């Protein structure tokens, strides 16, 4: 599936003029209905804050500054997200009991090579643990099978399944998306503005945590007690 999408995007990249012409014609029709003129930004001799490509027409300008870069970025992100190394790492998913019952050791063998430094064991050792792990969950009903790595870890005693516990711990820490850091950056723009650029790290971290973790209850009494522990020269009379 991913290879098919990449081949389509690369084909569009090769025929970029034809493909962008179709998009540009549709945009032109919409702009005509809205009485909006398509114009490219002013081209200057030196520009640092936006694209400044030389172009004779708006179509050529937006093709170079937007369509080219969008396709290149999308192709690069797909290749990075579904790289061979990442696909090998994701083979650990077969250790989640929901998928273990229908998996074989052949699905896990590539993981041994990829995480050899973390496991430090032979294939026979990992095979033995996998067979015991699969037999354990093969006797359970479908609704009793854990569906996530974190749930599976709670049923995986390290003394019995040391290698599988290590792999599940690694799998549980895989970042699924980049939404958390992106949300953090968005919050920082609201917290640390030009008028509050001298804010200290401790205060900034505290405000950022309160903004991001809004579901965590905050006790007013605990906050007051914490502030009261800091000695101040000014006596506050309530």
pLDDT digits (tens, 9 = 90+) for 139-176: 887 788 888 888 888 888 889 889 888 888 888 887 65
Mean pLDDT of the chain: 79
pLDDT digits (tens, 9 = 90+) for 61-83: 888 888 888 888 888 887 776 66
CA 32 to chain centre: 39
Neighbours of 104 (CB within 10 A): 12
- Asked if 198 and 156 count as a contact pair (C-beta separation under 8 A), the reply is no
- What integer pLDDT is reported at residue 141 of this predicted model? 79
- What integer pLDDT is reported at residue 181 of this predicted model? 62
Place of tokens 């998009």: 23
- Asked if 67 and 20 count as a contact pair (C-beta separation under 8 A), the reply is yes
- What integer pLDDT is reported at residue 237 of this predicted model? 60
- What integer pLDDT is reported at residue 150 of this predicted model? 86
- Asked if 123 and 106 count as a contact pair (C-beta separation under 8 A), the reply is no
Between 2 and 51, where is the model more confident? 2
**Ramachandran sector of residue 51 (left: φ over 0; alpha: ψ -120 to 50; beta: rest):** beta
- What integer pLDDT is reported at residue 52 of this predicted model? 61
> Does pLDDT of 50 surpass 60?
no
Least confident of 69-83, 91-105, 191-205: 191-205
- What integer pLDDT is reported at residue 46 of this predicted model? 65
- What integer pLDDT is reported at residue 85 of this predicted model? 60
Q: Residue 163: CB partners within 8 Å, gap ≥ 6?
A: 119, 121, 125, 126, 129
> Does pLDDT of 178 surpass 60?
no
> Does pLDDT of 200 surpass 80?
no
Q: Which pLDDT band, with edges at 50, 70 and 90, does 234 fall under?
A: low
Between 183 and 102, where is the model more confident? 102
What average pLDDT does range 4-22 have in this prediction?
Answer: 85
- Integer CA distances (angstroms), 124 to 11, 18, 42, 191, 217, in order: 45, 56, 67, 54, 49
Between 30 and 173, where is the model more confident? 30
**SS3 per residue for 32-88:** HHCCCCCCCCCCCCCCCCCCCCCCCCHHHHHHHHHHHHHHHHHHHHHHHHCCHHHHH
Q: Which of 81, 84, 156 is nearest to 113 (CA)?
A: 84
- Asked if 152 and 168 count as a contact pair (C-beta separation under 8 A), the reply is yes
pTM for the model stands at: 0.47
What average pLDDT does range 180-204 have in this prediction?
Answer: 70
> Does pLDDT of 44 surpass 70?
no
- Asked if 119 and 126 count as a contact pair (C-beta separation under 8 A), the reply is yes
Going from N- to C-terminal start, the domains of the chain cover 2-40+53-82, 90-172
> Does pLDDT of 31 surpass 60?
yes
- Give the tokens for residue 101: 């019952």
């Amino acid at each position: 599936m991913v290879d098919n999408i990449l081949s389509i995007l690369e084909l569009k990249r090769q025929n970029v003029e034809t493909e962008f012409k179709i998009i540009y014609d549709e945009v032109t029709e919409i702009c005509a209905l809205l009485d909006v003129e398509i114009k490219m930004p002013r081209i200057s001799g030196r520009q640092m804050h936006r694209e400044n490509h030389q172009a004779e027409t708006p179509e050529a300008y937006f093709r170079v500054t937007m369509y080219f870069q969008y396709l290149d970025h999308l192709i690069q992100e797909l290749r990075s997200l579904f790289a061979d190394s990442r696909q090998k790492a994701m083979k650990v998913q077969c250790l989640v009991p929901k998928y273990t019952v229908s998996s074989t050791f052949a699905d896990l063998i590539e993981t041994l090579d990829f995480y050899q430094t973390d496991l430090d064991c032979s294939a026979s050792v990992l095979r033995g643990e996998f067979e015991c792990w699969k037999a354990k969950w093969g006797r359970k009903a479908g609704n009793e099978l854990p569906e996530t790595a974190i749930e599976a870890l709670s049923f995986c005693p390290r003394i019995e399944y040391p290698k599988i516990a290590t792999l599940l711990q690694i799998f549980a820490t895989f970042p699924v998306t980049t939404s958390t850091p992106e949300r953090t950056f968005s919050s920082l723009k609201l917290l640390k503005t030009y008028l509050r650029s001298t804010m200290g790290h401790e205060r900034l971290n505290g405000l950022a945590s309160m903004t991001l973790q809004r579901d965590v209850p905050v006790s007013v009494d605990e906050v007051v007690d914490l502030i009261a522990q800091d000695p101040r020269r000014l006596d506050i009379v309530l």
